[in-house]
Amino acid sequence: MGWIMSDSQSGSWAEIFTPRFAPVTLIIGLGVALLAFNSFVATVSLPTAVQEMGGVALISWAITLYLVFAIVGGSGAALLKQRLGARLGLLVSASVFLAGTLIAAGAGDMPQVLVGRALQGLGEGVVASICFALIPELFPSRLVPKVFGLNAMIWAVAAFGGPAVAGLLTEMVSWRAAFLFSVPLVLIFGAMVAFVVPAKDAGAAKPVQFPGLRLLAIGIGIMLVALAAVTGPWQATGLLLGAGLLLTGAVWFDGRSRDRLMPLDAFRPISVVGTGLWMTLLINVAGAGSAVYLVLVVQQMWGFGPTMAGVIAAVLAVAWSISAVAVANVRQKETRKILIKLGPAMIGTGLILVLAGLQLDQVAVVVIGQLIIGGGFGSCNGYLNLAMMEAASDGERDRTSALMPTTQSAGNAIGAALAGVAANSAGLATAASTGEIRSAIIPVYLLGAAMAALAFAAAWQTVRLVRPQDPASSFAAG
């Protein structure tokens, strides 16, 4: 289906649920739900699994391996879609995810859980990226912001419902049941894909060289980033430098390869796609530190229980969802540009407010900061993604769309590692008093605010590069 459509009227929310679009909306929603719920389920159910089987030293690796393999899978998703087509690519990756889920749920020890989590991450990384690539193929541009708004709502539901469902299943049945919760979702997803997503034309298939070295460099680079979060400052600096060299090298070599994983101008500050990917990376780096430490800090400083601390953290996801829905009908090109620039500004402001609330012992200020951070993500994310999709050429659109969720995951991984280095250097791990915790958390939030400032610069350059005269741009159509 061609992506650029002549209909310039603003679509309604109901349109994505009409018979024409509802099956694809459901497929993309299920693909996002698999990623969203599995991001929360493991953190709730794995402590119980460790009590049963042992292997407490490996528990963090269950999260790390999922993330690393999801980024590797997402990086190779565009080539997989090119080689197999969207239908077969989704079915294969969903099968890998299902196999990983069954292995993790049936594991007899923690190493088996790790194998299952790695397969889950690999499969879900591909699923999420191909689903992103399907958005510009199967929806007209007027509906794309609404699809992203729906995705934000799914994440908000997962933020509240994921831990609750996983906790109930773990307590009432077993931790294995919490993992198996994904099985019916992935089976429904596979059935929908088989009936709705068109098969690849066999005559259009062409051989694709397996990008093993580039994927290996990306995987090792992200693994080094993850390791940096749990080492001392000097070791962490070395690991982050090594990761930077590997990831930069992977991007450089990819741009010179025949079968590229990424768009040609990925991370080059000369195009909307290049600066847009930098903004995507940086806003997620900015928000990761607070996401990692806020629940822990409010529990230690204020004596909140897990539920209350979790609610404060989940306020961000709700604000993200509400703001994404609120701006989904914006058509004016200048307003969309403002929203793209407003996002990182709000994220930086919100982080400073959260820090101020922690320093002043004001819960209300922390909540307001969380609302502003979430509103910043929701306001800019959909139109930033849309701008990159529309700026990409037909030959690059799959690579551009598929790289978006992978870049978000990479930003979260890098941000968590940098925040870990900042927190450990400031003594958060050994802080015993409220005052020590309050002081040690300052570098985490200042680092996040600095990343948000860099994201704002990238946003400014992105909207400057958007060409209003381009007939393929929704900015021009606004």
Greatest mean pLDDT among 207-221, 228-242, 436-450 lies in 436-450
Which of 319-333, 335-349, 376-390 comes out lowest in average pLDDT? 319-333
For 397-409, write each residue's pLDDT tens digit.
Answer: 888 988 988 898 8
Provide CB contacts within 8 A for 238, sequence distance 6+: none
The domain locations on the chain are 22-204, 209-258, 262-478
Question: How does the average pLDDT of the chain come out, rounded?
Answer: 85
Three-state DSSP string of the chain: CCCCCCCCCCCCHHHHHCCCCHHHHHHHHHHHHHHHHHHHHHHHHHHHHHHHHCCHHHHHHHHHHHHHHHHHHHHHHHHHHHHHCHHHHHHHHHHHHHHHHHHHHCCCCHHHHHHHHHHHHHHHHHHHHHHHHHHHHHCCHHHHHHHHHHHHHHHHHHHHHHHHHHHHHHHHCCHHHHHHCHHHHHHHHHHHHHHHCCCCCHHHCCCCCCCHHHHHHHHHHHHHHHHHCCCCHHHHHHHHHHHHHHHHHHHHHHCCCCCCCCCCCCCCCCCHHHHHHHHHHHHHHHHHHHHHHHHHHHHHHHCCCHHHHHHHHHHHHHHHHHHHHHCCCCCCHHHHHHHHHHHHHHHHHHHHHHHHHHHHCCHHHHHHHHHHHHHHHHHHHHHHHHHHHHHCCCCCHHHHHHHHHHHHHHHHHHHHHHHHHHHHHCCHHHCCCHHHHHHHCHHHHHHHHHHHHHHHHHHHHHHHHCCCCCCCCHHHHC
Which residue has 């794995």 as its token pair?
46
For position 357, what pLDDT does the model report?
97
| Listed range (36-50, 233-247, 401-415, 451-465) with the worst mean pLDDT | 36-50
Domain 262-478 = CATH 2.100.10.30: no
Query: pLDDT value at position 300?
Result: 86
For residue 473, is pLDDT > 70? Answer: no
Position 474 scores a pLDDT of 41
Confidence tier at 469 by pLDDT (50, 70, 90)? very low
Per CATH, the number for 22-204 is 1.20.1250.20
Write the pLDDT tens digit of every residue in 100-137.
999 999 988 888 999 999 999 999 999 988 988 888 88
The more confidently predicted of residues 357 and 202 is: 357
- pLDDT class of 204 with cuts at 50, 70, 90: low
Rg (CA), the chain: 21
Q: What is the pLDDT of residue 202?
A: 53
Buried b (16+ CB within 10 A) or exposed e, 246-267: bbeebbeebbeeebbbbbbbbb
For 55-110, what is each residue's pLDDT tens digit? 766 766 777 888 889 899 988 888 888 888 889 999 999 999 999 999 999 988 88
Segment 263-282, tens digit of pLDDT: 988 898 889 999 999 999 99
Give the model's confidence band at 148: pLDDT under 50 very low, under 70 low, under 90 confident, else very high. confident
All residues at 6 or more sequence positions from 298 whose CB lies less than 8 Å from its CB, including other chains:
304, 308, 309, 312, 358, 363, 366
Q: Look at residue 205 in the predicted model and tell me its pLDDT.
A: 55
| Same fold yes or no, 22-204 and 262-478 | yes
Which range in 32-41, 52-61, 139-148, 443-452 is most confidently predicted, on average pLDDT? 443-452
Which pLDDT tens digit goes with each residue over 285-296? Answer: 999 989 888 888
More confident residue, 202 or 139: 139
Tell me the pLDDT tens digit for each residue of 2-17: 333 334 445 677 888 8
**CA–CA dist 223, 109 (Å, integer):** 22
Reported pTM: 0.84
81 exposure class (CB count in 10 Å sphere: 0-12, 13-18, 19+): buried
Model pLDDT, residue 165: 78
Mean pLDDT along residues 212-241: 86
At 206, is the pLDDT very low, low, confident or very high (cuts 50, 70, 90)?
Answer: low
